[in-house]
Structure formats: structure tokens, C-alpha cells
């Protein structure tokens, strides 16, 4: 009997010792892990950026594609314009204009109200398209004739932004509209390419027209203005603006605010490159803007300011909106009762073809310029 009670007591004692042993084993294991962790140092948490990069890399590996790599962008300094290289921006003027070249002339009397480096011969960018349009208008070709934008028009200046794709069919009038309003390079090139006699004849007529107008500082090599070899002076561009203003169609198209054109299967909205056309404080009768790095920002306008019909030329303006700011300064100055301002500059001999003074087109000619105070 006693042996039976002893065996029961031993069994009870053994059952009570098992949990303690298990707990001791777990405790020992935990303490061992803690000891190892303490030797290894503090646990590092994954940084969010690192986790993100790892996730991107893992997804790329699963898809079989290489993970995108971040590359540093090299900042390319802006290329100086020819006017900047020539030091024209050092010429001071009372209005503190950002344009190195400025000329404001009364359209009716030829009085020069403002002149700054107006004899400098510089690239004129898309101001070229004003002559392109003048040659087309002068030829009296049908504006309803359909023309197709070709691969040549697209490839001649690769990388230039344009929404006119190869195969686009527009009328000559629509291409003329886009060249003047939106400064569409492919439209201007197509106008020259499809002209009777081809591009060579067209460029020849541009230069012939310049000579006819007495634009002695002007030379063209193509109809868009993307070439820096298209060059002129502010004095010559006054002559060009006056000649272009005599065509109502050029006045209408150049001052249009926007227009929808059929390009492929959809209508595409095109807008003016000159924000002043939308400004109700301006009454603009003709305009054209231009920009390439060598020319800076340019604008030529005919506008009524302070009760006078004026031609305004601003070339080689530094800064995206500086030509607009300069135009506004001139408008405010004229509204305040301005006196004529002509910056000092070297005089120049008169050209023999200008001996008669004002030519039949009403252009500003050398004898009148020489009579101005210097």
C-alpha cells in the first residue's frame, strides 16, 4: 500500500517539473538570442528610400527588365545671342529696355520716336516669315489651292516642335495663316517649296523684294527663319512692316488670336505667339514674333499708340517675356507724352538707291535717317 502511494507521489512530482523545464528551455533560448543580438549590435530598420529601390529592383527582376537608373542631368548654359557677343546689350537707354535693338517710327510721318542700335545687322529668326508671306501675297496665288506638308518639310529641321505631320493637307491660305499667327515652320517651308519655280526661286524672290523695298542690310537663305543666316536691321524691318501692312490679308492673319485646322482625322487648335494681340489695351494691325538662340526674342508690330500709327521693332531681347515687357514700357512712355530718343551710334553713308528720300512704298530711307539728331 505504501509503495502504491509512493509511486503516485513520484508521478505527481515529475508532472510538475516538466513545464518548469520547458520554460527554462524557452528562457534559455530567448536569452541566447538576446545575447547574440547584443553582440551583433542594434537592429537596423530598412529606410523607406532603400525599401522603395529594393521593391523596384525586385519587380524589374521578376519582369525580366532592367531596373531604371537615375542619371544626373547636365545643365547646359544658354547660348549667347549675336547681339550679346557683339556687346549691344551694353548700350544704355532711358527706358532700360532688355532688347539690344529698338526702333519706333511714326508710320505716316516717318518720325523716329525711339532708336537704339537700329543699324545693327543681326539674325531675325521668324520675323523672316513676314517676308515669306509678302512674297506669297504679292504673287496673287490662289489661297484656296490645297497643299500637302511633305517629308521634306518635316525633315528639313528635325527635332523642331510642330503639330503639322507629313501628309497633312491644308490650303495655301491656311498655311499662310499658321506661318503668321503661330509661326509654324513647316507651314512656311511648304509655302516656299510649293511656290512656282520651287524653293530656290522663292528665296530669290524674297531677296529681290528686299532690294525693291530698299532693305540693303537684309539677306535671306530660307523662308522659316530657323537659319541664323537670315539677317536684317531694325531700319530694314520698318520697311518690311510697312509693305506687309498694305495687304489686308496679312493684317488679318497675323493678328488672329487662334484657329482650328484639320490635321489628320482631328481638328487642332493653333494660337498666336504674341500675347499682346489678346490684350485689349493694344490695337495691333500687324505683327510677327521670332526666336532662335542667335537672334534672341524679337517682335515687329504695327500698332496705334497715343493716337498715332506706329511701327515698333524690338530685336535681341534677353528673357522669355522681355520683348513684351519692353513693348509695354514703350507704350507707357508714349502715353506719358514722350519726346524722341535716339541712342548714339555710328553714322553710315547713304546708299545710292536711297537718294530720292522716301520711296514709293513709303519706306524709311537713308536721307531721312541721316537728318535725325545723333
Q: Is residue 147 part of a domain?
A: yes
Q: Residue 309: which domain range?
A: 82-370
Q: Is residue 152 part of a domain?
A: yes
Q: Is residue 264 part of a domain?
A: yes
> What are the catalytic residues?
126, 129, 183
Parallel/antiparallel/unpaired status of strands 341-342 and 112-116: parallel
- 31, containing H or E segment: helix 2-40
Q: Say what percent of the chain tops pLDDT 70.
A: 69
Residue among 222, 242, 225, 204 at smallest CA distance from 297: 225
Q: Looking at residues 196-217, what average pLDDT do you find?
A: 98
Q: How far is CA 73 from the centre of its chain?
A: 21
In this prediction, residue 348 has a pLDDT band, given cuts at 50, 70 and 90, of: very low
Check the CA dihedral 172-178-184-188 and report its sign. positive
Q: Is residue 336 part of a domain?
A: yes
- What is the rounded distance in angstroms from the CA atom of residue 157 to the CA atom of residue 309? 37
Q: What does the block give as the cell for 124?
A: 531675325
pLDDT of residue 264: 86
The pTM score is: 0.73
Q: How many domains does the chain have?
A: 1
Q: Is residue 1 part of a domain?
A: no
Give residue for cell 523642331: 160
The predicted-structure confidence for 6-25, as pLDDT tens digits, reads as follows 565 555 455 554 444 443 44
- 316, containing H or E segment: strand 308-317
Is the pLDDT at 106 greater than 80? The verdict is: yes
**CATH number of the domain where residue 107 is located:** 3.40.710.10
The predicted-structure confidence for 278-325, as pLDDT tens digits, reads as follows 999 999 999 999 999 999 999 999 999 999 999 999 999 998 899 999
Q: Is residue 178 part of a domain?
A: yes
Q: Is residue 52 part of a domain?
A: no
The predicted-structure confidence for 42-85, as pLDDT tens digits, reads as follows 544 545 555 666 665 667 666 665 655 666 666 556 789 999 99
Q: Is residue 47 part of a domain?
A: no
Amino acid at each position: 500500500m505504501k509503495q502504491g502511494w509512493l509511486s503516485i507521489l513520484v508521478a505527481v512530482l515529475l508532472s510538475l517539473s516538466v513545464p518548469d523545464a520547458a520554460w527554462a528551455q524557452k528562457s534559455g533560448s530567448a536569452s541566447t538570442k538576446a545575447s547574440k543580438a547584443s553582440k551583433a549590435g542594434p537592429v537596423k530598420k530598412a529606410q523607406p528610400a532603400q525599401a522603395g529601390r529594393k521593391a523596384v529592383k525586385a519587380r524589374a527582376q521578376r519582369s525580366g527588365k532592367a531596373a531604371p537608373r537615375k542619371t544626373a542631368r547636365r545643365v547646359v548654359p544658354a547660348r549667347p545671342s549675336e547681339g550679346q557677343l557683339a556687346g549691344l546689350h551694353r548700350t544704355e537707354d532711358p527706358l532700360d529696355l532688355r532688347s539690344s535693338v529698338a526702333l519706333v517710327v511714326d508710320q505716316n510721318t516717318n518720325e523716329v520716336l525711339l532708336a537704339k542700335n537700329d543699324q545693327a545687322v543681326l539674325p531675325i529668326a521668324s520675323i523672316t516669315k513676314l517676308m515669306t508671306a509678302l512674297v506669297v501675297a504679292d504673287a496673287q496665288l490662289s489661297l484656296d489651292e490645297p497643299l500637302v506638308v511633305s517629308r521634306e518639310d518635316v525633315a528639313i529641321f528635325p527635332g523642331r516642335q510642330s503639330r503639322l505631320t507629313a501628309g497633312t493637307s491644308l490650303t495655301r491660305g491656311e498655311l499662310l495663316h499658321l506661318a503668321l499667327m503661330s509661326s509654324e515652320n513647316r507651314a512656311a517651308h511648304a509655302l516656299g517649296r510649293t511656290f512656282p519655280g520651287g524653293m530656290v526661286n522663292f528665296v530669290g524672290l524674297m531677296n529681290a523684294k528686299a532690294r525693291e523695298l530698299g532693305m540693303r542690310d537684309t539677306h535671306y537663305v530660307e523662308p522659316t527663319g530657323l537659319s541664323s543666316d537670315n539677317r536684317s536691321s531694325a531700319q530694314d524691318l520698318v520697311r518690311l512692316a510697312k509693305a506687309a501692312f498694305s495687304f489686308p490679308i496679312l493684317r488679318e492673319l497675323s493678328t488672329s488670336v487662334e484657329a482650328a485646322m484639320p490635321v489628320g482625322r482631328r481638328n487642332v487648335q493653333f494660337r498666336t505667339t504674341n500675347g499682346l494681340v489678346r490684350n485689349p489695351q493694344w490695337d495691333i494691325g500687324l505683327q510677327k514674333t521670332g526666336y532662335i538662340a542667335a537672334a534672341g526674342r524679337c517682335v515687329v508690330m504695327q500698332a496705334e499708340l497715343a493716337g498715332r500709327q506706329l511701327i515698333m521693332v524690338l530685336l535681341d531681347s534677353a528673357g522669355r517675356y522681355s520683348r513684351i515687357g519692353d513693348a509695354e514700357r514703350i507704350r507707357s512712355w508714349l502715353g506719358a507724352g514722350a519726346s524722341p530718343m535716339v541712342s548714339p551710334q555710328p553714322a553710315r553713308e547713304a546708299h545710292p538707291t536711297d537718294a530720292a528720300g522716301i520711296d514709293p512704298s513709303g519706306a524709311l530711307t537713308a536721307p531721312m535717317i541721316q537728318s535725325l539728331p545723333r
